[in-house]
Structure formats: C-alpha cells, structure tokens
Structure 1
Amino acid sequence: MPDLSSADGKRLLQLARQALEAYLKTGDHLEFIPQNDSFTAHCGCFVTLRSGDQLRGCIGTFDCGKPLYENVIRMAIAAGTQDMRFKPLRPEELAHIHIELSVLGELEKVEQLEAIEVGKHGIVVRCKNKNGTFLPEVAVEQGWQREEFLLRCAREKAGMSEKECAEAEVYRYTVRKFSEDA
C-alpha cells in the first residue's frame, strides 16, 4: 500500500468524484495525469458511495496490475453505475452522495482465525470458484464478532455451502480509508 497523506486522500476523493461526475454527465472516462508517485503505485481499492447514512454503491478491486489512480477512476464509476444492488446513480443525485475510498494493503493468508482483528482487517474468503470480501468496517457497523464476520462473508457474499465454508481459504488485509465527511 502506498504511503498516502491526508492531502493525497483528499485529492484521490476529488478524482473519484470528478470521474463519476464526468461519466454520469457525458459517458466519458476522465483523463488524469498523476503528479504524485503514490498515485501510480499498483494497488487495489474500494469506492463506497453513501446517501446520508445509507449505502448507495460499493465496488472495488484487488487488481494490483493497474495504478491506484486508474483503479480509483474505474471503481468510482462502477460503484455509481454497476452495483447490482442499486439503480445507477443519476447526475442530479451526485450532490447528495458522500464518497469513501479504501486503499487496500496486501492480502495475507490466515492460518489462525484469531489473526483477524475486527475493525482492523478486511477479509476475503475463497473456495473453488466462489469468493467474497468484507471491508473492515462492515463487522463494526453490523456489530459482528469474528466468527459471524467470517461466516456471513462465506455464506452471504460468496454463496458457500457449509462444506465449502469448512474448506475455504481465508485472507486478511488492511485499508487506508479516506472519506469526504472527514
């Protein structure tokens, strides 16, 4: 994960908003030339959109093959237009949307489930061709302990059977979170 300052986070949030606004108004992808080496670091991110305290979209990628700034642009647009849980955002809704950006650290395979700290670690649960993830704040927001965090990720996000849950590989990751609200 790149070393990002609060000012870097603010600029990345502006980039996410500008990319989403440009796409909603014109259908075009924003052109951006990074002035900061941290923005060209290859790492994944999630972009979360909220209207008040209600989730309005959240999509991310663990793809480390692209620079952070490209992933921010892609995920901002995807969160606003491709999250299947919600209708695509309309341009007039954007003024009421708050954007959060979670820059992802590396995935670490978990051998002991006790290594997962609720509120600190996000998780990925994988079995065969099924996988699911939750950002660190999900367990805190829902009031879940570690076991429920893992089980809900496996069953609800990944759609795993009980047998697949028992065979699943678990990974953890940290995030650096930035929010327009902060």
Structure 2
Amino acid sequence: MPVSSYISLSREAQAELKQLVWQVLDKAVEDRTMLQPAPPTSPALLIPRACFVTLYADKQLRGCIGTYAAEKSLWQNVCDYSYYSACEDCRFEPLQKRELPNLSFEISVLSALQPLANKGERALLDQLQIGIDGLLLKDSYYSAIFLPSVWHSLKTAEEFVNALKIKAGWPEDYWREDIKIFRFETFVIEGSQKTFVP
C-alpha cells in the first residue's frame, strides 16, 4: 500500500487512535507487556504511516519514541511507539500507574519525507519553514530527527539545525556535502485522560 504525503484524519479516526493509545498504556503500566489491540475500523488508520508518540506527565516530557519509516500501518506504529515511549525511553523510568491521571500525549503523524538537495548549510537554513518543518539529517551511520514541535524551544533555524547536529553526535560546525537532508510536516493529535472514554 503506497504512502500518501497528505495527512487527513477524521475525528472518528483520531478518537480511535486515542483509545488505542490508552489501551496500550493501561496494559503497559499494569504488567509491562505490549498490548496489540484489535484493528480499528477507520480505513485511514490502516495506511502505512510513520509517527512519533510523545508522553507528558504534569506537562513535563515523560517519553518520546517513534519512527520515520512507514513500514507498518499507522495504528500499529502508534500502538508500538506508545508502549516504547512509556517503557523503553532510556531517558526515563518506565511509566507508573499512578501517573496516568495526569498523563497527556501527542501523536505526531509524519508526512512523506521530502528529500532536499544538499547545497550547503546556509541554503538549508534559508529553506526551513520555522514552526512548520521537521528535519532529518543522515550521514553514513549517523542520523538525527527533530519534529516540528521542537521549534517551541528552538526559535531560529540556526538553533534548530545546530541542536539537531549535536543530537546526531556531530559538532555544531560540522557539515559535509554528502549529508542527506529530508524535510517533513506532521499532523498532531492531542490526547488527555479527560477525553478518554473506555
């Protein structure tokens, strides 16, 4: 099934995804196992799409893991990365049941990656749409990705690209003509315990 670059999810599809996330998280905090729920009914959720799932406890980052590869259907990727964000983000302890009442999340559904010609770092900085573009940089065995939500804390293109290079393990002044550049956008679905209806 081909990957579409345009993202459009109905309210019904979004509601199904949110419910799937809560099912996975409830099981994860209960016994640390990954639940694979029954497939959803919305056809849009069956299309292969990349995504990231970001968890917040009391509005503080609690986990964020995802993929830029659209090898699985959207609902399967959302379920997988909900579990990984809750239990396998090495920056945090596994999510606890007591945290669920104050937990919220974002599902960032990625558009298709748009390759950009590497015409130098200055050209990249001039092309970036601040607050809109996500960015993936790849060089040999190293790569790093920032979602568009990172613009909330990094306000300029220079800060954004420099921080992404550091994330990849490169110095801020690093640049090579064979770095591969990909731009993308996201469709963000927000969920909180208040809106969850089991």
* TM-score in same-fold range (> 0.5): yes
**Counterparts of 1:172 and 1:120, CA distance in 2:** 10
Instruction: Return the index of the structure with the highest Cα Rg.
Output: 2
Aligned residue type for 2:22: R
State the partner residue of 1:92. 98
SS of 2:176's equivalent in the other structure is helix
1:150 aligned onto 2:167: no
CA contact (8 A) 2:111 2:185 kept: yes
Aligned length: 180
Q: 1:180 aligns with which of 182, 186, 191?
A: 191
CA deviation map 1:15-52 (0-9, x unaligned): 11211111221324232222111010001100000112
Within 5 Å, give how 1:21-100 maps onto structure 2.
Answer: 21-26=26-31, 27-100=33-106
The amino acid that maps onto 2:144 is G
Conserved in 2, the CA contact under 8 Å of 1:127 and 1:164?
no
Query: What's 1:115 paired with?
Result: 127
Aligned partner letter, 1:11: E
- What's the Cα RMSD here? 1.8
Q: TM-score, normalised by structure 2?
A: 0.84
Report Cα offsets for 1:86-118 as digits up to 9, x if no partner: 111012212211011101101111234122211
Q: Quick one: percent identity of the two aligned structures?
A: 29
Structure 1 position 85, deviation (Å): 0.9
Change (3 A) 1:109 1:117: same
**Which 5+ residue runs of structure 1 have no aligned equivalent?**
none
Normalising to structure 1: TM-score of the pair? 0.90
Name the CA distance, whole Å, in 1 between partners of 2:150 and 2:172.
22
State the match for 2:20 in structure 1: 15
2:127, 2:171 → 1: CA distance?
24
Structure 2 spans left out of the alignment, 5+ residues = 118-122
Code of the residue aligned with 1:136 in structure 2: it is: P
Give the equivalent residue in structure 2 for 1:129: 141
| Residues 49, 56 of structure 1: 8 Å contact kept | yes
Q: Which runs of 4+ in 1 moved over 6 A?
A: none
2:107 and 2:146 mapped to 1: Cα distance?
14
